[in-house]
Homo-oligomer: A and B are copies of this chain.
Amino acid sequence: MFNSIKESPIYPIVNPQSIAFFGASNNFASMGSNLLSSVRSLGFEGAIYPVHPKEKQVQGYKAYQNVLDLPETPDLAIIVLHTDIVCRAVEECGQKGIKHAIIISAGFKEVGGRGANQEKELLDVAEKYGLRILGPNCLGVINPHHKLNTTWMPYEAPAGFIGMASQSGSFINQTLGRISKLGLGFSTAFSVGNELNTDIVDCMEYLGACPHTKVIALYIEGINRGRAFLEAARAIVPHKPIVALYVGGSEAGRRAGLSHTGAMAGPDNLYDGIFRQSGVIRARSITELFDFCWALGTLPECKGRRVMIQTHSGGPGATAADACGRAGLEVPALSPQTLEKLSELLPHTASANNPVDVTFSRNPLFYYSEIPKALLENKDADILLMYCYTPTESVIRSLESLGASREEAAKQAVIRIDAQSQAIAGLLERRDKPIIGFTYSSSDDRFIQGLVERGVPVFSGPEQAARVMEALVGYSSRRHGIMAGASEN
């Protein structure tokens, strides 16, 4: 492990000052040209040197017939050539003194036979010149903080706090539309492809040291260096959570992974054991992977499994209690002190059990301030799970019924709804205990959007929220377990 990110052997792959680009031309339909477009459109500020046998200029840059002709030795080569000519290009990069490359081209180990042989040749060349290669058969890197994107899709999300290393390129760009709606984005994302000599462990170590990365997401079809993974993860987990999705555990998943990146999968329980020992939290789907990252990267530590549930409708309270119960979380009774506080805040129709079913609040804002505050202060509370439902149209109607014009009611409704989400976000800013929302509304709803924009994670149902709470509790306990183990040694 290294302490400063600049010591990472792959630092120049993620933060190049200059790039030699193989495979881009003025034919905009080609994949290489597309990739160069992506690099340009995110606003990469370093030097770009297209290498092309015929063109004099490529997309406005001066082109070079051979990499050996470049005026400097660039930090990185990006290669998007036909499989058969990749190896020669890498050889020439080595001759030029280039030490880092991303090979996007596919057709290697993952297709077997001739492709597998070509991958062996590639490894020989890389060793000969001491070249560090990401790929082949990958999409490369997204580092929005450095304005670098080597995938063929535009990076349309904020620069964020999720560091991702993925054995599928799809998951670092075909998920962007969804996560950006949650205000999430990548700090840095890697598509590792066939892992010639840079694997998911290297990327995880980089992300562990990356100051923009608050939480690490891994998509795994198979880990080749189990011991290195375990050691690296245990070094990271005390200060940064790691979440992993592993799909090789079922027979069908194993076969699909094999033909995808040639990864060798192992039995599910083997990986379960590795993750547990490593302190890594396991997700069961891509949705969960990002859900967990959202909560782990946003919320304060969840020190135990005792959940306070707040609702204003019985059904959502019952589904929430049931989801917590099934997930092994506790829904403890409220303390006499809390009950006393609540008695001043709740109407007589309310149920002051846990779940606290507020029904109609005496003062609607209590739901978003005094009541959750009282629940968070309950001595047996580790986390608050809150049902979120304030439909804009209902607020408008109730204001109209009090005499406001439609226009005035609509204006006031927005102000009130935003005040509600602000109040909850304010409670969360105290950073002592986590708050999680769940809803059955559409994610387009103004109240839900307001919460999400203000950093309160809201999930589509309590089952999803319960899984997230399990992850929060799991991270806290694994983290402390590793730290205790380390201090014993």
**Known contacts A29-B401, A247-B318, then 10 further A-B pairs from the complex at CB < 8 Å, ordered by chain A residue:** A153-B394, A170-B389, A171-B440, A174-B441, A248-B322, A251-B325, A256-B321, A256-B355, A259-B353, A285-B463
Tell me which of B156, B171, B180, B397 contacts A315 (CB under 8 A).
B171
Determine if A442 and B315 form an interchain contact, defined as CB atoms under 8 angstroms apart: no
Count, chain A residues at interface, CB 8 A: 83
Provide the residues of chain B in CB contact with A169, threshold 8 Å. Answer: 313-315
Tell me which of B171, B248, B287, B401 contacts A28 (CB under 8 A).
B401
Does A219 interact with chain B (Cβ within 8 Å)?
yes
Does A84 interact with chain B (Cβ within 8 Å)?
no
Does A106 interact with chain B (Cβ within 8 Å)?
yes
Q: List 7 tightest A-B contacts by C-beta distance, closest first.
A: A168-B315, A253-B322, A250-B325, A28-B401, A260-B314, A252-B325, A256-B321
Does A323 interact with chain B (Cβ within 8 Å)?
yes
Number of copies: 2
> In whole angstroms, how far apart are the Cα atoms of A28 and B353 in the complex?
31
Provide the residues of chain B in CB contact with A394, threshold 8 Å. Answer: 153-154
Provide the residues of chain B in CB contact with A286, threshold 8 Å. Answer: 319, 440, 461
Provide the residues of chain B in CB contact with A326, threshold 8 Å. Answer: 249-250, 253
Determine if A287 and B461 form an interchain contact, defined as CB atoms under 8 angstroms apart: yes
Chain A, residues 68-112, CB within 8 Å of chain B (1/0): the string is 000000000000000000000000000000000000001100010
> In whole angstroms, how far apart are the Cα atoms of A175 and B257 in the complex?
37
> In whole angstroms, how far apart are the Cα atoms of A138 and B107 in the complex?
62
> In whole angstroms, how far apart are the Cα atoms of A461 and B290 in the complex?
12
Determine if B319 and A461 form an interchain contact, defined as CB atoms under 8 angstroms apart: no
Determine if B252 and A331 form an interchain contact, defined as CB atoms under 8 angstroms apart: yes
> In whole angstroms, how far apart are the Cα atoms of A279 and B219 in the complex?
38
Tell me which of B174, B318, B351 contacts A316 (CB under 8 A).
B174
Does A457 interact with chain B (Cβ within 8 Å)?
no
Tell me which of B37, B316, B349 contacts A170 (CB under 8 A).
B316
Provide the residues of chain B in CB contact with A441, threshold 8 Å. Answer: 174-175, 177-178
23 residue pairs A–B, Cβ–Cβ below 8 Å: A34-B398, A154-B393, A166-B315, A168-B318, A169-B313, A174-B313, A174-B440, A175-B441, A177-B441, A181-B444, A247-B318, A247-B321, A247-B322, A252-B324, A252-B331, A253-B319, A253-B321, A255-B353, A256-B318, A260-B314, A285-B461, A285-B464, A287-B464
CB nearest neighbor in B for A309: B256
CB nearest neighbor in B for A83: B349
Does A377 interact with chain B (Cβ within 8 Å)?
no
Does A402 interact with chain B (Cβ within 8 Å)?
yes
Does A434 interact with chain B (Cβ within 8 Å)?
no
Does A391 interact with chain B (Cβ within 8 Å)?
yes
Q: How far is the CB of A195 from chain B (nearest CB, A)?
A: 14
Q: How far is the CB of A432 from chain B (nearest CB, A)?
A: 24
Does A187 interact with chain B (Cβ within 8 Å)?
no
Provide the residues of chain B in CB contact with A315, threshold 8 Å. Answer: 166-171, 219, 260
Contact status of A156 and B461, CB under 8 A, knowing A257-B318, A321-B255? no
> In whole angstroms, how far apart are the Cα atoms of A147 and B170 in the complex?
46
> In whole angstroms, how far apart are the Cα atoms of A464 and B287 in the complex?
10
Does A460 interact with chain B (Cβ within 8 Å)?
yes
CB nearest neighbor in B for A111: B349
Does A140 interact with chain B (Cβ within 8 Å)?
no
Does A188 interact with chain B (Cβ within 8 Å)?
no
Does A445 interact with chain B (Cβ within 8 Å)?
yes
Provide the residues of chain B in CB contact with A177, threshold 8 Å. Answer: 391, 441-442, 444-445
Determine if A318 and B461 form an interchain contact, defined as CB atoms under 8 angstroms apart: no
Does A382 interact with chain B (Cβ within 8 Å)?
no
Query: CB within 8 Å of B: which of A252-292?
Result: 252-253, 255-257, 259-261, 284-287
Q: How far is the CB of A139 from chain B (nearest CB, A)?
A: 10
Provide the residues of chain B in CB contact with A463, threshold 8 Å. Answer: 284-285, 287
